[in-house]
Amino acid sequence: MIQLDPTINTALIVGTVGEKPEDLLADYAGISIRLLGVIFTPYVVGCKATRIPVNIYLAEGSGLKFYVIERHHSTTYPLYPHELHKEICAYMYALIKLLGVKFIISTSAVGGLNGNNFRATFTKLSRGTLAVPGSFVDLAGVPITFATDDWNRNAEFKLHEGHQSVNDAVCPALLNMLEHSPVLTSRRSIVATTIGPHFESKAEVDFYYRVVHADFLGMHTLIKEWKLVVQVPNVHFLPIVHVTNMPLEDKDEETTGDHVEKAASNSNGMMLDQVFRVMRGINETPQLGCICRGRGDIFDHLEPKHPVTS
């Protein structure tokens, strides 16, 4: 049984190819991590309506204590590709509604699209670059729903009548904590997302760069979190991307999962430095005074409330 700890209000979501929470933090001095337990959520899959279980990790040390979710393997239950959106809803529900998390830092590996076109946000990107995107273009073509099943989608549609703008997803107070850091920030920067792994062709990459004017290319799982977090109250969200390959520059170079994983591991230390910088800022500033308050709650239609179980 997972015992609720009111002193823990922060979560880190990780998710690079082959990356596990214990591997990500293994070499970071002063931080230990362990599997805390499993939470069964209201989200169901399969003909037997099996509740999706979410693996919750706990990391602590160096004055920090926070939950960790591994985005791509947050559950051991086998899911079909069309059910992956429920996995995202499940771990976000577990963090926000059952564990009381108020601050979510989400990290993602992306491709960097360099160029000198008329709206180039950053003059130069390279492998290892860290950034907070200002906006996104969702090219995944996946319907956005937060309902647990078809039956309660009507309740969700009622909530959508007062939906919040996704432009307010990134918490400005958390973003300010990265001022004078190596993390690039710009409200004009764009991450284009597709269903991954998508295995883009050279023509598609050119399209994302020349037509969409994207600075980064990533998977749509990040955008699902982005779209969900604005529909719940008092949750502060900060997405940090790290560039693991350069599709435009690597046209003749094969990019594999191992390639991405190696590039990600090389920048993980610097990324964690910035994540922990924000977490310490949260501890030092309990009242952020930002706009991430007073929103509707997309999860309120999920009845009955299910207890935290292990």
Write out the H or E segment, with its range, that includes residue 204: helix 202-210
Residue 126 lies in a domain: yes
pTM, to two decimals: 0.87
Task: Please give the Cα distance from 192 to 133 (Å, whole number).
Answer: 10
Instruction: Note the pLDDT of residue 209.
Output: 85
Task: Please give the Cα distance from 57 to 32 (Å, whole number).
Answer: 10
Residue 82 lies in a domain: yes
Q: What is the CATH classification number for the domain harbouring 236?
A: 3.40.50.1580
CB 155 within 8 Å of CB 301:
yes
Task: Please give the Cα distance from 273 to 265 (Å, whole number).
Answer: 13
Q: Which of 90-94, 153-157, 171-175, 274-278 has the lowest mean pLDDT?
A: 153-157
3-state SS assignment for residue 190: strand
Number of domains forming the structure of the chain: 1
Residue 309 lies in a domain: no
- Is 117 or 242 the better-scoring residue by pLDDT? 242
pLDDT in tens, 9-19: 999 998 765 56
Provide Rg for the chain, Cα atoms: 19
Please give the residue range of the domain that contains residue 113: 10-301
pLDDT > 70 fraction of the chain, expressed in percent and rounded = 72
